[in-house]
A and B are shown apart, each in its own frame.
Chain A
Amino acid sequence: MPLSRGVIPIRPVTAGAPAGGALADAILAEIASALHEYLDTRQNHVIDLTGMPLSREDRQRIDAYLGQGEVSMDIHALVHSHIEETAYAGVWRVRHYDMGGGVHSERIEIIDVPEIVRASSADMAHSARRIEALRAEEGA
C-alpha cells in the first residue's frame, strides 16, 4: 500500500467552480451578432475560450446551446486539431491539442469554413513540385 494512503488519509474533493452561467449568455449574444456581421461584410470572428474564466455551468450551457452539426474534421499537422460545426451553420468549434493530448487552444469561429482547413496556395505549389519530382524519378 502506498505510504501516503496508510498514514495520511487522502480524500480528494472536486473544488466547486464559481456558480452562474452569465458568460455563456454573453458568448451566445456575441455569436449572433458575429453571424450578422459575417453576412454583411464577410468579416470572420473568433471567440477564444482558452483564457476565459468559464464556470462548469458556463461550459455546460455553451455545449447545450451550440449542440452538434453536420461536419467534423481532424487535422494532423504539427499537433492534432479537431474541428466541428455546431448545430448552427457557420459556427465552428476548433480545438488544438498539445503534444501531450491536452487542449491548448479552444475557440469558436464564425466563418463559412475555418481558415485552417483550407489548403494554402503555397502548400499546393509545393505539392505540385513534389508530384513532378516523383514522376521524374519514376520515369528515370
Chain B
Amino acid sequence: MTDETIRDVLTRRGLSRRAFLQVCASVTAALALSPAEAADMTKRLETAERPTVIYLSYQECTGCLESLTRSFSPGIASLIFNDISLAYNDTLQAAAGQAAETAKDTAMKNAWGKYVLVVDGSVPLAQNGAYCAVAGRSAVSDLKRAAGGAAAVVAVGTCAAFGGLPYAAPNPTGAVPVSEIVRDRPVINISGCPPIAEVITGVILYYTTFGVPALDHLHRPMNFYGNTIHDRCYRRPFYDRGMFAKTFDDEGARQGWCLFELGCKGPITHNACPTTKWNGGTSYPIESGHPCLGCSEPGFWDKGGFYKALSTPTGHWSRTGVVSGAVAAGVAAGLSTAAVARARQGRAQKKAASADSEPKNPTS
C-alpha cells in the first residue's frame, strides 16, 4: 500500500515534474535547508515512499489540528499532509464508532513498523487513565499499542510535547507528555500552542527523506527551534536601545517599540515565528502588537503571568535562570540573553551531533 512515491502520487493526479519541483522548493524553503541539502532532498523526495501518517488525539483542544488544516490557504504542505500521507485521524474522518476503530486498525496493520505516529494532547495517568478514553481504551494503553508499530513518534503541540495545559498546576488528571510513555523509539517534539502548520508538515517530510532531524535538548528540531524569538525579532533594535512600550496604547506601542515590559517571553522562547510566521507567512504575535507568551516552552502557563516582564520577580522563574534587570539596562541584557540562547543552542547542536547515529528512515 505504501510502495508509491510522493512523485507517483502527484503524477497520478496529472501533475508534472514542475509541480513536484514546486513542492520541493516549498519544503526546502520551510526547512531552511542549505543549497546542498536542498538539492539532496529533491533527489531523495523523487524516490521517497509516500509516508503513512497516523494521527491520534488525547487530552487536547484540537487547536493543533485547526492550525494544521485551516489557518492558511490550501498550501503545498497541507496538500502533502492531508491528501497524500494522512491514513488515519479521529477528528477529520467521516466514520464513527466501530467503523472508525476498524479504519484505525487497518491503517496501522498496513504500515506496521513504518508509519509516523503523530500524537496531539497529553496523556492522563491518574485513576488508571480514566480521564481520557477512546473506544473503551485508556489513552495510555491506546498510545502504547499505536507506538508499537511506529517508526517514529511526533508529539505535536505543547500538550503532547511537554504536558501542556492539562499539566498545569495542580494537574488534576496526572497528565504527562508523550515522551514519558514512549521510551523505545524516537520522539520528536513539535511544541507550540499550537505549532506552526508548516513546521509540522516540514518535519514529517524531513523525516521521510533524511530520518530524525537534529534535535535540541528538549527533542525539538533545531531547524525550527534553534533560535529564540528574541534572536530574530524585528523589534530587537528597540530592545537594544532600551525603547520599551509601557502600555498597550502608549506612544511606544504605536511606534512598534519592544514589548519586553509588557511581558514578552521572546528572549527565552525557541520557535520559528519571526521567520516562518503564521497564516501563510502573514505575521506573528509580536508583529500584531502582542508580547510572545512563550507557548513553545515547557510550563509556559505556570510562569507567573503573561503580561509580567521577565525581569519582574514572580517566584515562578527560578528554574530557568532568567536575566533580571533587563529593563534598566537594555543593551547589557540584550547581549546576555542572546549569549544564554546561543550557549544553549551550541550545547544542543553538540548533543545532536553526538546523537547522529539515531535510527534512519526504515522505508528508504
Assess whether B342 is interfacial by the CB under 8 Å rule: no
Q: Produce 1/0 per residue, B222-246, CB < 8 A to A.
A: 0000000000101111000000000
Count of CB-CB pairs between chains A and B under 8 Å: 101
Contact flag A123-B16 (CB < 8 Å), given A98-B73, A102-B280: yes
Q: For the complex formed, measure the closest distance between the CB of B36 and the CB atoms of chain A, giving whole angstroms.
A: 9
A122 touches B35 (CB 8 A): no
The listed residue with most B CB atoms (<10 A of its CB), out of A8, A47, A102, A126, is A102
Assess whether B208 is interfacial by the CB under 8 Å rule: no
B18 touches A46 (CB 8 A): no
B22 touches A45 (CB 8 A): no
Assess whether A50 is interfacial by the CB under 8 Å rule: yes
Residues of A contacting B16 in the complex (Cβ-Cβ under 8 angstroms) = 77, 120, 123
A11 touches B35 (CB 8 A): no
Assess whether A25 is interfacial by the CB under 8 Å rule: no
Closest to A104 in B: B26
A98 touches B76 (CB 8 A): yes
Contact flag A115-B21 (CB < 8 Å), given A46-B39, A51-B276: yes
Interface size of A by CB at 8 A reads 38
B35 touches A96 (CB 8 A): no
CA A127 – CA B15 in complex, angstroms?
A: 12
A75 touches B280 (CB 8 A): no
Return the contact of B76 from the options A8, A78, A107 (Cβ within 8 A). A78
Say which one of A13-21, A59-67, A132-140 lies at the interface with B: A13-21
Give the secondary structure class of B's interface: helix
Residues of B contacting A77 in the complex (Cβ-Cβ under 8 angstroms) = 15-16, 18-19, 22
CA A103 – CA B280 in complex, angstroms?
A: 9
CA A98 – CA B255 in complex, angstroms?
A: 31
Return the contact of B275 from the options A53, A78, A106, A107 (Cβ within 8 A). A53
CA A47 – CA B186 in complex, angstroms?
A: 32
Assess whether B321 is interfacial by the CB under 8 Å rule: no
A104 touches B281 (CB 8 A): yes
Assess whether A26 is interfacial by the CB under 8 Å rule: no
Assess whether B137 is interfacial by the CB under 8 Å rule: no
A123 touches B17 (CB 8 A): yes
Assess whether B28 is interfacial by the CB under 8 Å rule: yes
Q: Produce 1/0 per residue, B22-47, CB < 8 A to A.
A: 11011011001101001100000000
A18 touches B236 (CB 8 A): yes
Q: Produce 1/0 per residue, A90-121, CB < 8 A to B.
A: 00001010111011111100000001110010
B29 touches A50 (CB 8 A): yes
CA A126 – CA B19 in complex, angstroms?
A: 15
Residues of A contacting B299 in the complex (Cβ-Cβ under 8 angstroms) = none
Residues of A contacting B256 in the complex (Cβ-Cβ under 8 angstroms) = 13, 15-16
Assess whether A79 is interfacial by the CB under 8 Å rule: yes
Contact flag A15-B280 (CB < 8 Å), given A78-B15, A116-B22, A123-B16: no
Return the contact of B254 from the options A13, A17, A117 (Cβ within 8 A). A13
Beyond known contacts A13-B256, A48-B33, A53-B232: 19 more, CB 8 A cutoff: A18-B234, A48-B28, A48-B38, A53-B275, A75-B22, A78-B10, A78-B15, A96-B22, A100-B72, A102-B280, A104-B26, A104-B76, A104-B281, A105-B25, A106-B29, A116-B21, A120-B18, A122-B11, A123-B17
The 3 closest A-B pairs by CB, nearest first: A100-B73, A78-B19, A120-B17
17 A-B contact pairs sorted by A residue (CB < 8 Å)? A18-B237, A19-B237, A45-B35, A46-B38, A46-B39, A48-B35, A51-B29, A78-B19, A98-B75, A98-B76, A100-B72, A100-B73, A104-B76, A104-B280, A105-B26, A107-B25, A116-B21
| Interface residue ranges, B against A (CB under 8 Å) | 10-11, 15-19, 21-23, 25-26, 28-29, 32-33, 35, 38-39, 72-76, 79, 232, 234-237, 249, 254-256, 275-276, 280-282, 287
